Amino acid sequence: MDATTPPPDGDQNRGPAFLISSWIEVGIVIVIMILRFYGRSRLGQVGVDDWVMLLTAALLIAFVSVASVVALNGGFRHVYYLKSNMDLVFYVTKFNWISQPPIIIALATSKISVGFLILRVMGHSKWRKRFLYFTMVTCFIGNALSAIFTFAQCNPPKALWSTIQGKCWDPATQSDYAIASSCYNGVLDVAYALLPASVFWNLQLSTRKKIGLVLLLGGGIFAGVASFIKSSKLPGLSGRSDFTWNSYEPIVCVEVFLLIVCGSIPALKPIYDQIFGKPKGSSSPYNSFSRRGYRIQSSTDDQSLTLKRISAPGKTTTTVVNSRPKSDACFNSRSNKDVPPLPNDINIKKTFEVSVTGSRLPSHSDQDVVSGHEVV
């Protein structure tokens, strides 16, 4: 932990730059999370991905809070200029190690949140579901092990930041694992950014709208780039002689920040539409509307109708939908007066038989799904 020669770049304190940049990122993240939950709650669509992303934001704040203790005490300077006060060196090095597990776990939870977001919109593709669940589990296990190895590499762990003699791994071992884990995280960021393209590209939409949807859900590719940049800098962690300087990598904080921002952009679109208005002619792959707690979706590429209950669960009925051209259609739920007519721009010209299946959707708990099929 001691350095005997002065570094060529002199006495530089990178603490103030870290404090300014990281707390600005925290402020932006807090605003984004408030808007995310506000928009989702207005639609009654708060899901697992939202809560996991909230956990990610909390872990980022925990990391920045602990790392700020290091920055405020000169812990991001060369150890050569701190060695006159070894108690201070031990102090900042201790908090440097303590700050690492929260940000490592945040790298995993952010990807899990994005994975659940993709599960909400990608439909019923089995191979995509299996891929997402497998990568989410392996990502969490890999990052959890990396967090555990932070302290498990020395016995006792206090040997990492004090003069206590302990039995420690070769520093290169922990560094090599961190590099491998970071590369895997980067690959997942890119994969999660590209996966929605395989869903939306086959829809009957204009190329411009397809590109828009892919960009909306594919912002995580920037986090992937940050992850690969971080991987190229991790070999310096094996050098413990100037640990206070070598362990400073703001790209770690930036990576989690990008994951939170890019992973929340799709959830913020309803807020954007509410403030700036929905563009003329804009539409989703499905025509949808909500009335009295029900959402009705008519597919554009097949003859089927889906009625989803998005209110509180409890009462279910079997409903037959009969329609007349350019007239109102009623969906019976105990009595016709309880259900409002269809909007004027919806014109159903066929008869459908609808039955309640009682299945659960992955994105919302306790939702009944009513699927309709054309009566031949």
| Span 139-186, pLDDT tens digits | 999 999 999 998 998 889 888 888 888 888 888 888 888 889 989 999
State the burial class of residue 193 (Cβ atoms within 10 Å of its Cβ: 0-12, 13-18, 19+): buried
Give the pLDDT confidence of 335-352 residue by residue, as tens digits: 444 444 544 444 444 444
* This prediction's pTM: 0.69
Query: Which backbone phi and psi does 219 adopt, to 5 degrees?
Result: -65, -15
- Which of 16-25, 146-155, 237-246, 364-373 has the least mean pLDDT? 364-373
C-alpha separations of 199 from 117, 118, 119, 204, 214 in Å: 13, 10, 11, 11, 9
Helix (H, G, I), strand (E, B) or coil at 57: helix
Section 295-309 average pLDDT: 42
How large is the greatest C-alpha to C-alpha distance in the chain, in angstroms?
88
CA distance 3 to 86: 12
Q: Could you tell me which residue, 310 or 43, shows the higher pLDDT?
A: 43
CA distance 2 to 142: 32
